[in-house]
C-alpha cells in the first residue's frame, strides 16, 4: 500500500521506516532536506523536500493513490490542515495527525481529525506506572467477560520462573523488558520491573490484583 508521512523528525522517520519495513511504499515530505538524515541508511522510500501546503506538492507525493497519510510536523495547525485536505479533497481513507501541544487538542476534535498526542500519552503512561503499581485494565472484550491487564512484576518474583509465580487462571500474553517486548513462556525468568500484559476473566484478574497488593505491602 502507499503511504505518505509529512514531517521527518524522529517520529516521522521512525514511522516511515516501520511502514517501509512492512513492505509498504512510503513517501516522506519535509521542508528541510537535512531532516531526511533521520531516516535509517537502508530506507528505500521516496523523499521530497518542500512546503507541503504549496500547490501540487501533495499530488507530487502521490496522494491520489495513497491509502493513508500521517501529518507529524511540529505544527499542530499544519497537521490539522494537511489531514483536512487529505480527507475532504483527496478522500484519503486513513489519516492521522500528531498532536504536539495538548492545548491544541480541541482543534483536532473540531475538524474530526484522529490524533496521537505524544506528550499527553507519555504523561498519562508515566502517571499510571508511578501511582498504580498493581493491576490496570487496558482492554475489555465483549461485555467484559475477558480483559487484558497490565502489571509491573514485583521484586518478590525476581529470579523465579514465570510459571511458578503467575496464577494458572490468567494467561501471560506479553512481557516488556527494557523497552523490548517478547512472548512470555513458563520457563522465562522474571526480573523486577518487567511490564507484563495478562488476560483473564474479571474474577481471575481480581485474584491476581489482591495477590500483588499483598506482595507490595510486604
Question: What is the enclosing helix (H) or strand (E) of 6?
Answer: strand 2-6
Helix, strand and coil percent figures for the chain, each rounded to 5 = 40, 30, 35
In this structure, are residues 173 and 196 in contact, taking their beta carbons and an 8 Å threshold? no
- pLDDT bracket for residue 17 (50, 70, 90): very high
> Is residue 111 predicted with pLDDT exceeding 70?
yes
Report how far residue 218's alpha carbon sits from residue 180's, in angstroms, rounded to the nearest whole number.
Answer: 29
What's the grid cell of residue 109? 476534535
Pairing type for strands 195-200 and 146-152 reads antiparallel
**How far, CA to CA in Å, does 164 sit from each of 95, 188, 207?**
45, 10, 16
Q: Could you give the domains of the chain?
A: 2-118 (3.40.50.720), 128-217 (3.30.70.1450)
Q: State pLDDT tens for residues 174-193.
A: 999 988 999 999 999 999 88
In this structure, are residues 123 and 131 in contact, taking their beta carbons and an 8 Å threshold? no
- pLDDT bracket for residue 143 (50, 70, 90): confident
Mean pLDDT of the chain: 90
**How far, CA to CA in Å, does 123 sit from each of 35, 93, 113, 172, 178?**
27, 30, 21, 26, 19
Amino acid at each position: 500500500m502507499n503511504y505518505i508521512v509529512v514531517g521527518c523528525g524522529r517520529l516521522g522517520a521512525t514511522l516511515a521506516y516501520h511502514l517501509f519495513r512492512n513492505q509498504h511504499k512510503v513517501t516522506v515530505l519535509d521542508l528541510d532536506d537535512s531532516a531526511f538524515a533521520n531516516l535509517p541508511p537502508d530506507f528505500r522510500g521516496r523523499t521530497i523536500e518542500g512546503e507541503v501546503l504549496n500547490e501540487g506538492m501533495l499530488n507530487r507525493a502521490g496522494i491520489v493513490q495513497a491509502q493513508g497519510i500521517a501529518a507529524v510536523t511540529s505544527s499542530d495547525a499544519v497537521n490539522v490542515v494537511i489531514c483536512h485536505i487529505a480527507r475532504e479533497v483527496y478522500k484519503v481513507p486513513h489519516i492521522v495527525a500528531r498532536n504536539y501541544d495538548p492545548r491544541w487538542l480541541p482543534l483536532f476534535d473540531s475538524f474530526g481529525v484522529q490524533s496521537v498526542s505524544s506528550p499527553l500519552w507519555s504523561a498519562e503512561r508515566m502517571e499510571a506506572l508511578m501511582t498504580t503499581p498493581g493491576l490496570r485494565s487496558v482492554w475489555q472484550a465483549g461485555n467484559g467477560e475477558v480483559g487484558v491487564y497490565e502489571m509491573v512484576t514485583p521484586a518478590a518474583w525476581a529470579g523465579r520462573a514465570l510459571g511458578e509465580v503467575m496464577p494458572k487462571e490468567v494467561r501471560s500474553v506479553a512481557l516488556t523488558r527494557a523497552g523490548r517486548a517478547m512472548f512470555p513462556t513458563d520457563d522465562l525468568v522474571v526480573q523486577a520491573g518487567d511490564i507484563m500484559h495478562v488476560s483473564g476473566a474479571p474474577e481471575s484478574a481480581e485474584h491476581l490484583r489482591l495477590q500483588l497488593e499483598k506482595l507490595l505491602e510486604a
